[in-house]
Structure 1
Amino acid sequence: MCGRELDYVKKAFESNYIAPVGPQLDQFEELFSEITGLPHCVAVANGTSAIHLMLRCIGIKPGDLVLASTLTFIGSVAGAKYLGADLGFIDCDYDTWNMDIDVLEKEIESLLKSGIKPAAVLPTENYGQPCDVDRLRSVCDRYEIPLVMDCAETVGATYKGQHVGHGVKAAAFSFNGNKIVTTSGGGMVTSDDGALIDHARYLANQAKQPGWQYEHHEIGYNYRLSNILAAIGISQLEVIEQRVQRKREIFNQYKDELAEVPGIRFMPDVSYGVGNRWLTAVMIDEKEFGVDNIAVMTGLEAENIESRPIWRPLHTQKVFANCRVAGGQVAESINRQGICLPSGTSMSNEDVTRICKTIRSLCKTRSLRETG
């Protein structure tokens, strides 16, 4: 928390708008639009519901095929399954850890030759890393396939000087409790298409027709964000620049202090944008470091330091056993070796140094032990 949340929550209580409607909700949406430059947005319950609504609003229906990232959290693709769609998973690349655009294009060409046209492409921007939207769009436009983006982890990140979320049919963001800015739970659907967002807002409010009668022409959802949670979000958005700066400082400190440790490779920076470094993610090469990523996580836990593995690729999950996959080996390799290190903006430099010291102590490479 940045300190002003209670002031905005007090205003929300004073307004007596406790339900998912009210002045703070309107202000939160307006502020998000102002900060990002994304002209139309609707705040909803969480990032998963934002992606579900986004896919519903571009017309995804049962039997459609959605091509999605395999290296991601299940919330990225659950919405497609809610709608009865089929999923095809696309591998990532080592340069970005995001969807491999070359693999995507080959998969689309293969599908078209067999008479199948994907209904949408849904890449995830992993760990705050922006995707190369221009390249993605050039592929999708060539085959007239809608491009929608899972930006759940990239609030505050930029692509070619603009906030992420531009240049696609629609984008979804998350304000979950672990995100760079939070409303405890919450999400946002954004688009250049005002009609799409109007429809999303309508569906998020149980698809209730205007007027005092409870009249419905479509089945909707109870997805609107609470006015109280939106009040928290206003304060959070006011400090987004400082949050991104601190996240990147933490990443750079890790990188500097672990630079001489063999077998540690950091998630790369891309040339076309600036990630928010939501989490500092690394790969541990067991041969070079001396132990694997599980041993490192266990060693950190022994010092009361929480870490987590990289996302388990979705194509390896039992629930998606019957889904098609293009590639997958890169995602599996990153998952096998990857660790997410503590990255909270409340961490001190001393905290990061303690974590780095612990990681160094876990390295079993002789040369490192001999040199200290």
Structure 2
Amino acid sequence: MSGHEQNYVQEAFDANLLASEGSNLNSFEQDLEKYLGNQSHVGALSSGTSAIHLGLILLGVQAGDAVICQSMTFSASANPILYLGATPIFIDSESETWNLCPIALEEAITDSIAKGRKPKAIIAVHLYGVPYQIEAVRAVANQYGIPILEDSAEGLGSSYKGQRCGTFGDIGVLSFNGNKIITTSGGGAIVTKTKALKDKALFFATQSRDNAPHYQHSEIGYNYRMSNICAGIGRGQMEVLDTHVALRRTMHDFYVDLFAAIASVTVFTAPNEDYFANYWLSTIVVEPQLTKGIDRESMRLAFEAENIECRPLWKPMHLQPIFEKYPYYGKRVAETLFEKGLCLPSGSNLTDENRARIREVVLKLFQNN
């Protein structure tokens, strides 16, 4: 927390505006628009998932349509496809950014077109805060005239060639869930290129109430607007966003140094200087053939024995029970990353004492080996 969140929340109480209207909402959206730049228009919503859902609606996705989605991601990237009765088509990762593989993407598009169903949208994710291959993915999307829904739930504060993540897609998505770079306790935002599109999103988000003196509804609506209280928390969090990004990057640097002499462990790092990653989570890949059997799971259990939580990487969507029946294009990059990858403690509030405990576990495990 920045320490200022309560002041903004108190403003909401003082104005007796606690629900989905008020100065906090307007100011929080303006703060985000200024931060993102590129003439962005931001609508604050109840979650990143609701932003994906509305984004797909704005892109015209309907029941029976096909939507391409990165396989290695959190399920919230893909669930809204099923909300709409559409069909997800999952795409493998490439090894540099762990994100949407442009080669597999084009293969999926051409195959779908050959079968008579051109995909309606592409969901591209900035996994763990590392931007996807922006130019390569856009080139494929433009070639076939398919819009990109940019899932920047993990990417606020990241950028590519100086442009903020969240502004590369035809529509962008942000998340302010409790585990993200900044939080509104729960919440998200949709990022559009025009005010008209933002207004349409907020129309849907407030039950699609027509402009009439009575309650009239000509389109399906949703209760997706952020509350004025949550937006107040967001205003305070915006004051420490850059600090939080710096702290996450410091944790990444800590792991790079910690594993520098351990050839069997690779810390996931952005490919080059064009990519600025917030390193929302610091992650590693463990090669057990180089460690006499130490693998991702034995590392996780070693940390767990010291009451330090680590987790495997996202399990790819095409391996999930709910999604395994849907088409998948690519090889085994995402599967291999899941088998060998581990998410490490990455919080913005980790202390030197926490880092010392982490270092001790790692050195003990590999020295014994």
TM-score by length of 2: 0.96
**Cα deviation code 1:64-113 (max 9, x no counterpart):** 10010000000001111101100100000111111111111122122223
SS of 2:229 mapped into structure 1: helix
Give 2:316's aligned residue: 313
Deviation at 1:328?
A: 4.6
Give 1:166's aligned residue: 167
SS of 1:43 mapped into structure 2: strand
Q: In structure 2, which of residues 269, 279, 282 is the aligned counterpart of residue 280 of structure 1?
A: 282
Q: Distance in 2 between matches of 1:234 and 1:112?
A: 45
Do 2:156 and 2:166's aligned partners in 1 also have CA atoms closer than 8 Å? no
Give 1:330's aligned residue: 333
Q: Tell me whether 1:16 sits opposite 2:16 in the alignment.
A: yes
SS of 2:42 mapped into structure 1: strand
Q: What is the number of equivalent residue pairs in this alignment? A: 366
Q: Distance in 2 between matches of 1:292 and 1:207?
A: 51
Q: Distance in 2 between matches of 1:149 and 1:167?
A: 7
Deviation at 1:357?
A: 2.0
Deviates more, 1:43-52 or 1:100-109: 100-109
Do 1:258 and 1:356's aligned partners in 2 also have CA atoms closer than 8 Å? no
Give 1:182's aligned residue: 183
Give 1:36's aligned residue: 36
Q: In structure 2, which of residues 347, 350, 363 is the aligned counterpart of residue 347 of structure 1?
A: 350
Partner AA of 2:193 in structure 1: D
Partner AA of 1:230 in structure 2: A
Deviation at 1:292?
A: 1.6
Give 1:134's aligned residue: 135
Give 2:220's aligned residue: 219
Q: Distance in 1 between matches of 2:172 and 2:347?
A: 25
TM-score by length of 1: 0.96
Q: Extract unaligned runs of 5+ from structure 2.
A: none
SS of 2:98 mapped into structure 1: coil
Deviation at 1:131?
A: 1.5
Do 2:312 and 2:341's aligned partners in 1 also have CA atoms closer than 8 Å? yes
Do 1:169 and 1:193's aligned partners in 2 also have CA atoms closer than 8 Å? no
Partner AA of 1:23 in structure 2: S
Partner AA of 1:265 in structure 2: T
1:1-372 aligned at under 5 Å gives the runs 1-37=1-37, 38-271=39-272, 272-289=274-291, 290-363=293-366, 368-369=367-368
Q: Distance in 2 between matches of 1:359 and 1:98?
A: 28
SS of 2:78 mapped into structure 1: helix
Q: Distance in 2 between matches of 1:131 and 1:330?
A: 15
Q: Extract unaligned runs of 5+ from structure 1.
A: none
Q: Distance in 1 between matches of 2:156 and 2:316?
A: 23
Partner AA of 2:17 in structure 1: Y
Partner AA of 1:315 in structure 2: H
Do 2:150 and 2:172's aligned partners in 1 also have CA atoms closer than 8 Å? yes
Do 1:278 and 1:343's aligned partners in 2 also have CA atoms closer than 8 Å? yes
Q: Distance in 2 between matches of 1:254 and 1:167?
A: 29
Q: Distance in 2 between matches of 1:221 and 1:71?
A: 28
Q: CA RMSD in A?
A: 1.3
